[in-house]
C-alpha cells in the first residue's frame, strides 16, 4: 500500500514538473494556446529539439571556462575593478587532435594588494579543480601565473602592483586600434529559436543587429522568423545535424545523419529550408559528427548554394569540413569564433564577451554564438554600451567571404 502511494505521488510530481510551466505560459491573461501545427506530407513531425547545444564541447573545454570564471571571481573578491581585468589576447592552440583557447589576462592590482597575495589566492582556486595547476613566477612589477589544464597551457596572467592612482586605473595593456583607425567588428548570432515565443521576445526587444538562427519543424519556427524579419533582423536556418553523441543526444526533427544517402539528405535540406521563411543563410545545429564528413557536407552545401544562401560553420568539431567545403563551392561563408553561454551564469557570459572582443581586436572581426537563455539576453542588454564603445556591432553578412 505504502509503495503504491509513493509511486502515485511520484507520478503526480513528474507531471507537475514537466507540464505545469508550459500550462502557465499559455494561461496568462489575454493569451491563448496556439493551434497545433499541421505538418506537410512527408515532413518530420514537430517535437522539441534537444537543448544540449554544447554536447560536442569536451569536459576539457568546459573545465577551462569554469577555471576562468573562478579566477575572475577571486580577482573581484580581492576588490580588483572589472575594468582592471583585461583579456589582452585570445588564440586557438592545437596539439595532436586537441584544440583549445589560450588566453592572456593583464590585471592591474589596486594599491595595497600585493601580487603575491593575489597570485596565491588564484593558485589555490585553480588547484581545487582536478588535473589543473597554476605555476607562479616573479616578473618586474608583479607576478606571472601560468595555468595548465590536463597539462595544456590555457591561461597566462600578468599581475601588476600599485597601478591604481586613486582617480582611475592605469591599463597595463590598452586595447590597440586596428590598422587605419577602424574598430574591430563583432557579430552576434543567437541559435535555437523556434521552441518558445517567450524565449524569443527578450532578444527581439534588444536594439542589436543580432542574427536569429531558427530550428525547423518547431511550434514557433515561422512565428519567430516573421517577427525577426519585421524587426529588420537577419534570419537564418539552424539546420540539425548528427552529433558525436547520437542517438543518446537528439538533434531534433529533420536532422541529417551520416547513414543517409544523397537523395535523402538533399530532400531533408530542402524541407528545412522551405520550413523557415525569410532565411538568408544556414548554420548547423550540433553536427559534431556530420560536419566531419566532407562528402555529405558537400551535398548539403550544394543545395544551400542552389537557394543562394550563405553558410556559417558553428564549429562544433575541430575536424569540421564545413567551412572548407563552403569555400570550395564559392558560398559566402564564415566560422564561429566563440560560444557565449555554455556556462549559464552572468559572469561566465561576460567573460566570453570580453574574449570575443579580444579575438576581434586581433583578427579584425569575430563571431559569437549564444542561445536563447534569459541570462544571455540580460547580459547582452547590460553589456551593450561596453560592446558598442569598443567595437562595431555589425550584421553577419558584413564579415562573410
Instruction: Give me Rg for the CA atoms of the chain.
Output: 23
Is residue 59 a contact partner of residue 131, using CB atoms and an 8 Å limit? no
What kind of fold does domain 179-398 have according to CATH? TIM Barrel (3.20.20)
pLDDT of residue 325: 98
CA nearest neighbour of 45 among 254, 358, 315:
254
Cα 82 from Cα 72, distance rounded (Å)? 9
Q: Under DSSP, is residue 185 helix (H, G, I), strand (E, B) or coil?
A: strand
- Tell me the pLDDT band of 99, cut-offs 50, 70 and 90: confident
Query: Cell match 539528405: residue?
Result: 265
pLDDT digits (tens, 9 = 90+) for 7-59: 444 444 443 333 333 333 322 222 233 333 444 444 454 444 444 444 455 66
Q: Judge whether residue 142 has pLDDT over 80.
A: yes
Query: Cell match 574574449: residue?
Result: 355
164 secondary structure, DSSP code: B
Residue 286: which H helix or E strand, with range? strand 279-286
Cα 185 from Cα 170, distance rounded (Å)? 25
Cα 290 from Cα 322, distance rounded (Å)? 9
Q: Per CATH, the architecture of 59-160 is what?
A: 2-Layer Sandwich (3.30)
- Tell me the pLDDT band of 61, cut-offs 50, 70 and 90: confident
pLDDT of residue 232: 96
Task: Cell numbers for 120, please give them.
Answer: 596565491
pLDDT of residue 96: 81
Q: Judge whether residue 100 has pLDDT over 60.
A: yes
Cα 154 from Cα 171, distance rounded (Å)? 22
Domain extent listing, the chain? 59-160, 179-398
Cα 214 from Cα 225, distance rounded (Å)? 7
247 prior amide bond cis, ω within 30: yes
CA dihedral 311, 314, 315, 316 (to 10 degrees): -140
Angle, vertex CA 223, rays to CA 217 and CA 228, nearest 5: 115
Q: Judge whether residue 222 has pLDDT over 60.
A: yes
Amino acid at each position: 500500500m505504502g509503495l503504491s502511494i509513493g509511486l502515485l505521488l511520484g507520478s503526480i510530481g513528474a507531471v507537475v514538473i514537466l507540464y505545469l510551466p508550459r500550462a502557465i505560459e499559455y494561461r496568462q491573461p489575454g493569451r491563448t494556446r496556439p493551434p497545433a501545427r499541421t505538418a506537410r506530407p512527408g515532413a518530420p513531425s514537430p517535437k522539441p529539439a534537444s537543448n544540449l547545444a554544447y554536447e560536442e564541447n569536451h569536459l576539457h573545454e568546459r573545465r577551462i571556462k569554469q577555471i576562468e570564471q573562478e579566477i575572475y571571481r577571486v580577482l573581484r573578491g580581492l576588490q580588483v575593478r572589472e575594468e582592471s581585468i583585461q583579456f589582452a589576447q585570445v588564440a586557438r592552440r592545437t596539439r595532436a587532435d586537441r584544440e583549445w583557447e589560450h588566453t592572456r589576462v593583464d590585471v592591474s592590482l589596486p594599491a595595497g594588494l600585493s601580487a603575491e597575495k593575489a597570485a596565491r589566492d588564484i593558485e589555490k582556486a585553480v588547484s581545487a579543480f582536478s588535473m589543473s595547476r597554476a605555476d607562479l613566477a616573479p616578473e618586474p612589477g608583479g607576478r606571472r601565473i601560468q595555468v595548465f589544464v590536463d597539462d595544456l597551457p590555457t591561461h597566462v596572467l600578468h599581475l601588476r602592483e600599485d597601478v591604481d592612482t586613486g582617480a582611475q586605473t592605469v591599463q597595463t595593456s590598452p586595447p590597440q586600434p586596428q590598422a587605419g583607425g577602424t574598430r574591430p567588428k563583432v557579430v552576434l548570432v543567437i541559435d535555437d529559436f523556434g521552441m518558445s515565443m517567450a524565449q524569443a521576445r527578450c532578444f527581439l526587444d534588444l536594439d542589436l543587429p543580432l542574427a536569429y538562427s531558427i530550428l525547423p519543424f518547431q511550434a514557433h519556427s515561422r512565428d519567430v522568423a516573421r517577427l525577426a524579419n519585421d524587426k529588420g533582423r537577419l534570419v537564418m536556418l539552424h539546420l540539425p545535424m548528427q552529433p558525436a553523441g547520437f542517438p543518446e543526444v537528439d538533434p531534433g526533427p529533420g536532422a541529417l545523419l551520416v547513414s543517409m544517402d544523397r537523395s535523402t539528405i538533399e530532400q531533408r535540406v530542402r524541407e528545412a529550408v522551405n520550413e523557415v521563411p525569410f532565411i538568408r543563410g544556414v548554420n548547423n545545429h550540433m553536427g559534431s559528427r556530420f560536419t566531419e564528413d566532407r562528402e555529405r557536407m558537400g551535398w548539403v552545401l550544394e543545395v544551400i548554394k542552389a537557394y543562394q544562401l550563405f553558410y556559417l560553420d558553428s564549429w562544433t568539431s575541430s575536424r569540421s569540413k564545413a567551412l572548407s567545403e563552403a569555400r570550395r563551392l564559392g558560398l559566402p561563408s564564415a566560422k564561429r569564433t566563440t560560444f557565449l553561454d555554455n556556462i549559464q551564469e552572468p559572469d561566465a557570459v561576460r567573460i566570453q564577451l570580453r574574449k570575443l572582443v579580444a579575438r576581434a581586436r586581433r583578427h579584425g572581426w569575430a563571431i559569437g554564438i549564444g542561445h536563447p537563455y534569459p541570462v544571455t539576453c540580460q547580459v547582452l542588454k547590460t553589456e551593450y554600451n561596453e560592446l558598442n564603445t569598443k567595437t562595431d556591432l555589425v550584421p553577419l553578412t558584413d564579415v562573410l567571404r
